[in-house]
Homo-oligomer: A and B are copies of this chain.
Amino acid sequence: MRIALLGCGVVGTEIVRLLRANAGDLAARVGEPLELVGIAVRRPERVRDLDIDSALFTADAAGLVARDDVDLVIEVVGGIEPARDWLLAALRAGKPVVTANKALLASDGAALHDAAAAAGTDLYYEAAVGGAIPLIRPLRESLAGDRVRRVLGIVNGTTNFVLTRMDETGASFTEALAEAGALGYAEADPSADIDGYDAAAKAAIMAQLAFHTRVTIDDVYRVGIGDVTAADIAGAREMGCTVKALAVAERSADTDGISVRVHPAMIPRAHPLAGVREAFNAVFVEAEAAGQLMFYGQGAGGAPTASAVLGDVVAVARNRIAGRRGPGESSYAALPVLPMGRTVTKYHVNLDVTDKTGVLATVAGAFARHDVSIRSVRQDGRGDDASLVLVTHAAPDAALSATVEELRGLAGVRAVSGVMRVEGGEP
């Protein structure tokens, strides 16, 4: 089984190391040796430190993919182009592909899946979500006899590290992000993580598998964690909650649509996801028959990602030797993705109000006008001012956000000092 590797950064280097260190085990598990026949990198002349035969390196990825002596292609370059062209060429030539490329899968996975199906070959991508945590295989296979209701994931290590620090040390967002950068948990430009793009791509991939429906990153509602304040974290704490950046894929209870979104949310401290600290990832799945499941581990890093890639390599190599194909894309359900306004959520709202008779009645009236039911309210007086903390029952997001808009202009309301969605409770 002759393998081409596209990309040789942190993950690629670890793949090369594992292919060598575990060569005997891998050969026994696959049924024949795995041989690395070429590695495509942008600047082969720059690759020096690695203890790898320099003759393997090439700058011509397309040529490497097309070589007759390549049976299987691993891609860890990332990004849409040129990875997309290389992988389409591999699949069209009937060569199975193992990729960690979440951005490509979330933007144009359909083209890859179609090419794999047309050629009767495999497209595996366990490493695209949650590093080494098995998620794709459980969603695609283990839960194939069940109906998934909801997937709640902490799928970005950078944002979870930042929010964990804010929660545990009282740090501000800026301080916590600086610490994440210093410790190597945040990139020099952290915007793909902080603004939720990374998590949105993973949410699209998980939603597709959970609901047998094509979902792209453009279908995903997205709010980053840049506006989360120390006051939000403190407010969550008072509610017995913590703030997490969640990727949510959910089947609507009353319509036959799904909701896919990424945003900060309060979850109860007793929820299993609340204990997922620092850069760890975890995905919590609720299915009709299986009940509640959680998958936990290191969501990133060279070695964990390489482990996931090689698990897939063993599977597709076995398939290729046996002349068969693993499970392909499943998108028969084709459920509509609901706009965020129609998605049912709950809000936690913190108001600064004047401490005068009638303010609560005014505020409650705004909720009632939008048909939003209040679950709990707490008022704390502070001289002339008071703070009012309200938690709603579930309501369409459009009604909730319209309520908040109305509150901003209400006499007696000095400021809406905090608004956050609440997840992880009973529907």
Contacts and interface: CB of A to CB of B under 8 A. Distances in A.
Interface of A: 14, 18, 22, 25-26, 28-29, 126, 131-134, 137-138, 141-147, 212, 272, 275, 287-298, 301, 303-304, 306-315, 318, 322-325, 327, 330, 332-333
Contacts of A288: 303, 307
Contacts of A146: 18, 22, 132, 307, 310-311
Identical chains in the assembly: 2
Nearest to A294: B296
B144 A311 contact: yes
Nearest to A139: B134
A272 to B, nearest CB: 6
B314 A144 contact: yes
A23 B315 CA distance: 29
Contacts of A26: 145
A143 B315 CA distance: 10
Given A138-B134, A290-B298, A297-B292, A28 B145 contact: no
A161 to B, nearest CB: 16
A291 B311 contact: no
Given A18-B145, A138-B134, A292 B298 contact: yes
Contacts of A143: 134, 307, 311
Contact of A325 (B22, B298, B322): B322
Contacts of A318: 327
A287 B310 CA distance: 13
B28 A147 contact: no
Nearest to A142: B134
15 contacts: A18-B146, A25-B147, A28-B333, A29-B332, A131-B290, A132-B289, A132-B293, A134-B137, A134-B138, A141-B315, A143-B311, A144-B314, A289-B310, A294-B295, A324-B325
Interface centre among A131, A137, A138 (most CB of B within 10 A): A138
Given A28-B330, A28-B332, A291-B304, 6 more contacts: A131-B290, A134-B143, A144-B310, A291-B297, A318-B327, A322-B324
Contact of A29 (B293, B311, B312, B330): B330
Contacts of A137: 134, 137-138, 141-142
A244 to B, nearest CB: 16
Given A132-B290, A291-B132, A297-B293, A145 B22 contact: yes
Contacts of A28: 212, 330, 332-333
A18 B145 CA distance: 8
Contacts of A131: 290
Contacts of A138: 134, 137-138
B290 A308 contact: yes
A316 B322 CA distance: 16
